[in-house]
Amino acid sequence: MGPLTKNIPLVYCCFAFFIGNLYHSHSQDSIPDYQHEIALNTIYLLADASAYLVYENRFSDKFSAGAGLWYGRYGDGSSDFTDGFGDGTRDYEITPFARWYVRGTQRTSFFIQGFASIYGGRYDGISRETTAAGFGVYRRGINNYTNLALGAAIGQEFLLFKKRVSLELVFGLGGDLIGRNSYYDYDWGVSTAQSGINIGYRF
């Protein structure tokens, strides 16, 4: 991702928050319930041209559960490992989550979310193997990996168009529990981010 592309989510995030705050002052009436929601993470769409879909089941006034599914090819050398230096890709991510809406079913509510992330991809790595003769040997090759991470997120939800449409700002970070260390293991033990602006349809 180039610097400009990296800045798109940040600018978009701030802009959406500004719009959301304007909206917040208008109405706080309680709502009819739509239990199901399908949302699209727009930041992934804009920044990486990849689809991150989120299903959410709001089974009570204040609590919901769901899962996100992302598929893409994200990483240096993701299309071609032959340069020998691309460390790897993140190809998919499945993110089950649970949410607590602080303001319940109001048209705008802050929420706190806990999530797990099962993600994986491929990496161009060096592994030590044992030959038939019993000697060690280092071999370079492309391998698959799957990691499990846990994390937490906070966010704000706004319900629009007679509460049929939701707009969410969410930010969360998680760290690996199981899996390989990779290029994407950010500092401070953070390996995955659940962030973005989700636009959803409720039904």
Q: Which residues bind another protein (CB under 8 A)?
A: 1, 6-7, 9-10, 13-14, 17, 21, 82-85, 87, 125-126, 128, 130-131, 134-140, 154, 156, 169, 171, 173, 181-187, 190, 193, 195
CA of residue 25 relative to chain centroid, distance: 29
Question: CB 37 → another protein: shortest distance, Å?
Answer: 22
Q: Nearer Cβ to another protein, position 135 or 203?
A: 135
Q: Nearer Cβ to another protein, position 133 or 162?
A: 133
Question: CB 29 → another protein: shortest distance, Å?
Answer: 21
Q: Nearer Cβ to another protein, position 61 or 185?
A: 185
Q: Nearer Cβ to another protein, position 79 or 130?
A: 130
Question: CB 172 → another protein: shortest distance, Å?
Answer: 9
Question: CB 56 → another protein: shortest distance, Å?
Answer: 20
Adjacent-strand bridge partners of 182 = none
Which residues lie closer than 8 Å to 24 by C-beta, 6 or more apart?
Answer: 108, 158
Task: Identify the CA nearest to 107 among candidates 62, 34, 166, 170.
Answer: 166
Adjacent-strand bridge partners of 101 = 111
Which residues lie closer than 8 Å to 164 by C-beta, 6 or more apart?
Answer: 34, 201, 202, 203
Question: CB 35 → another protein: shortest distance, Å?
Answer: 28
Q: How far apart are CA 2 and CA 108, in angstroms?
A: 34
Count of Cβ atoms closer than 10 Å to residue 141 Cβ: 11
Count of Cβ atoms closer than 10 Å to residue 46 Cβ: 15
Q: Nearer Cβ to another protein, position 132 or 162?
A: 132
